[in-house]
Structure 1
Amino acid sequence: MNDSIHDDFHNNYPRYLNILNVPDDLAIDQIEIPELIGSGAIKRTKLRPGMELVIADCRLHQKQTLHFQSDVPMIELSFWLKGNNDVNLSGKPLHIRDNHCQLAFMQHLDAEMYCTANEPILACEIRLAESVFIDLVETLGGDTRLDIKQIVAAEPVRIFQQAIQPSEQLLVRQLLNCPFEPPLRKMYIEGKALELLAIYLQKCLFDTDDSIPRNGKGLRRTDLDKICAAADMLVARMDQPPSLLELSRMAGISDFKLKTGFRELYGTTVFGYLRDKRMEQALFLLETEGISVYEAAIATGYSNPSHFASVFREKYGFNPGQWGK
């Protein structure tokens, strides 16, 4: 594909950083924050024509207002691991906070971001030109299509915002810390970026109720509600979980229906679901609270830290003590 047809899209990167007085040059892929303004850097990786990843790891010494303006239709999925800032998007206020993500469909962007002094920022943004996005979401074997005009609903910007779940946090961290050799990094990063994009498109556009997964179509509504309630109880008491019989009594459903319902709804056993949720919570605590491996083990119901580390390693492929290093 000819890069030139996406020049307007890729040129937005240096234009967004007008406060740093960088030249309007398409070749700039890493911008160091001048010492007078702050510290750190903002890096752009062009994954393919019309698709790029931007990573910001920096802080500003003083309050700053960044101006963003673009007439290039695009889709942006941004993850903020650190940083709390307010944004005005075409007259609509938005608060960006730690461990939240935003999926944005933009036809026209006229925005201001109000950056807090000395607030650390760690964020990554996956950006796609609208034409590339349309090519990626072409229907394969189905009749459900994504109509961008319907999503945007005549607004210049449509935003979906939600907390980053621990399982997706791991994918974001893998984007930030690619383990592959340089010749393979672009391939790896693009794969992770597209996986994250698919996950959040599913959540924001197709899953109308996040508390009810899209499996379990064969279950009666009353049983479905009870199984979802049982799952919530299990997670709420993950440090001291009830037995299967106790859980079934608490939820008002037979243990047989509970076991078969969990397999139908979540694709795993009751305690396989608990194990996954424990690991997600452990990852979240290690990332956001900075606690020790022992503390993460106790908080998620493991009295034996060695067993906890073994389960964690099986789930994520590395030891819990290596997280964040």
Structure 2
Amino acid sequence: MSSTHIQENFHLFFDRMNLEPQHVDQKTHLTLHPEMGEGYIRRFLPRYDMEVVVSDYTFYRSQSISLSTKSPMVELNFCLKGERGIRVQGKEHQLLPGLCSLQFMSEVEARFEYGGNEPFHMLGIGIPVSTFHHFMEESNGERSIEFRQVLGKQLFRIFQEKLSPAASVALQRVMQHAAKPGTKKIEMETGVLGLLSMAFQSFLLDKETASVPL
């Protein structure tokens, strides 16, 4: 699966938000249309099969954004401020401050809900299924966890837990990399891989985790 597949999912979502590219960097720095709100989205590609998105914006009025994903993917989100509702397959989920959310999704119809005049700040990391399988592969070449195994009969599954102290430190480091001009891709990639590793360990690999899939 090529990286362009998951990037298309992000493209579709941002198109629904009526974002405006900035002259300084039309591919990675987008701002809200002034009639809709204020703030920005920054997109990073530390490697060809990984997209990192920093969102920091406020809608002036409540917004509902619907889209159909074009390709299966795994997404890790860290909500820093504000709330966002997600409705998939008739079920409601909430992204709340201080929560880490790991999402597995096939081709699904989703609706995102935002409150008006409520600042929203989040870090999102998206990878294709092929990369997830690569990360789950063991040293002997075998793999005990599969994307379809995690989803089961569902098209969407989300795991959530409060941000741990270790993850908070790692998240702060990645946010610093995102804000610093001239950050090398290896710096961003190393930080993001650390966050993914902790999330996979907590939600999927640690048999004694207290996290509960929603």
The 4+ residue runs of structure 1 with deviation greater than 4 A are 141-144
Aligned residues with identical type, % of pairs: 24
2:174 counterpart letter in structure 1: L
Matches of residues 302-317 of structure 1 in structure 2 within 5 Å?
A: none
1:86 counterpart letter in structure 2: G
Q: Separation in 2 of the partners of 1:58 and 1:116?
A: 12
1:171 counterpart letter in structure 2: A
Would you say 1:131 and 2:130 are equivalent positions? yes
Q: Separation in 2 of the partners of 1:33 and 1:22?
A: 5
Greater Rg over alpha carbons, structure: 1
2:119 counterpart letter in structure 1: P
**Structure 1 pair 57–205 and aligned structure 2 pair: CA distance change class (3 A):** same
Any idea what SS the aligned residue of 1:200 has?
Answer: helix
Aligned length: 204
How far did residue 104 of structure 1 move? 0.8
The alignment yields a C-alpha RMSD, in angstroms, of: 2.2
Whether the 8 Å CA contact 1:73–1:129 is kept in 2: the answer is yes
Q: Separation in 2 of the partners of 1:162 and 1:44?
A: 25
Q: Which runs of 5+ in 2 are unaligned?
A: 21-25
How far did residue 142 of structure 1 move? 7.9
Would you say 1:18 and 2:15 are equivalent positions? yes
How far did residue 21 of structure 1 move? 3.0
Any idea what SS the aligned residue of 1:11 has?
Answer: helix
> Is the helix fraction higher in 1 or 2?
1
2:3 corresponds, among 6, 10, 31, to 6
Partner of 1:41: 40
Any idea what SS the aligned residue of 2:2 has?
Answer: helix
Q: Which has the higher contact order (CA 8 A, sep 6+)?
A: 2
**Structure 1 pair 196–66 and aligned structure 2 pair: CA distance change class (3 A):** same
Q: TM-score with structure 1 length normalisation?
A: 0.58
Q: TM-score with structure 2 length normalisation?
A: 0.87
Any idea what SS the aligned residue of 1:65 has?
Answer: strand
> Is the strand fraction higher in 1 or 2?
2
Whether the 8 Å CA contact 2:17–2:65 is kept in 1: the answer is no
Would you say 1:121 and 2:112 are equivalent positions? no
Whether the 8 Å CA contact 2:3–2:48 is kept in 1: the answer is yes
Q: Which runs of 5+ in 1 are unaligned?
A: 212-325
How far did residue 144 of structure 1 move? 5.6
**Structure 1 pair 176–187 and aligned structure 2 pair: CA distance change class (3 A):** same
Q: Separation in 2 of the partners of 1:74 and 1:58?
A: 24
